[in-house]
A = this chain, B = another copy of it.
Amino acid sequence: MTADSIALFAKHGRIAAQLRGQIESGSLAVGDDLPSESDLQSRFGVSRGPIRQALATLRSEGLIETTQGRPPRVRAQPLAQSIDDFFSFSSWVRAQGKVPGQRTFEIARRRAAPALVARMGLADGEFVVEIVRLRLIDGIPTMIERSAFHDSIGKALLTFDTDSGSIYEYLIDNGAELDEGTHVVDAVPAAPLDAELLGVETGAPLLRVRRVTRSRRGLILETSDDRYRSDHASLLIYNSRNENRPTPIVARTTHTVANA
């Protein structure tokens, strides 16, 4: 490595650190435009190279986003996502400065099917409460949610208006011990009904997240199967060898979607 390239590293690193600081402190807020490349050049007294590197770093960290022909803009800060924002669609969407929505297709209390008996560790013949909802971001269909709740907490949902908001927040407020979750992430083709609800072709790839939520004592209280339009939402994972940065960080992110 030449002395020149070391100096260059230092420059772009310093610029990225300053801008990161402004974003983290809120002096550059979510949705704000960053100064233009030429403004940044004169402010930092550097050429275009280090500015570009600093912007690429912030982009790769998920702190800014660039749309064709616009200055880079500060985006929601996934690196600060709480466990509530990861579990709850509503609080996640609100944290992105957007409006969550939901349309309930079915809520039913029924005896668990064999696959669910095994998945939840139930006794044969036990009841569960199953819910199917379409979830929306700013009115745009984004995800199909199929959940099954242990009867001990599910019964309370039969009298809750599941079109009104977050089931997760409702259950937490009512003392449900939704303490830990395991999420398996893969890709599946859209079934005809899901395709129609999400506005994609049948067979289009959806990002699937299957979750099992347990109490601290290991009782399975909920399982869900969430299928996202992956052009509207994706997962972001950050990890590092740097002992000073606690990792990994996992976050859901929304994508800017043109209102149709």
Contact = CB atoms under 8 A, between A and B. Distances in A.
Copy number in this complex? 2
| Interface of chain A: mostly helix, strand, loop or mixed | mixed
A121 B239 contact: no
A62 interface: yes
A195 interface: no
B214 A185 contact: no
A52 interface: yes
Given A52-B122, A189-B204, A250-B250, A61 B241 contact: no
A56 interface: yes
Q: Which of A12, A56, A216, A249 has the most CB of B within 10 A?
A: A56
A140 to B, nearest CB: 16
A242 interface: yes
A247 B237 CA distance: 13
Interface string A63-84: 0001000000000000000010
A185 B185 contact: yes
A217 interface: yes
Interface stretch (A88-96, A156-164, A176-184): A176-184
B237 A183 contact: yes
Interface of A: 1, 5, 9-10, 12-13, 16-17, 48-49, 52-57, 59-62, 66, 83, 86, 117-123, 152, 179-189, 203-208, 212, 214-220, 230-231, 234-242, 245, 247-250, 253
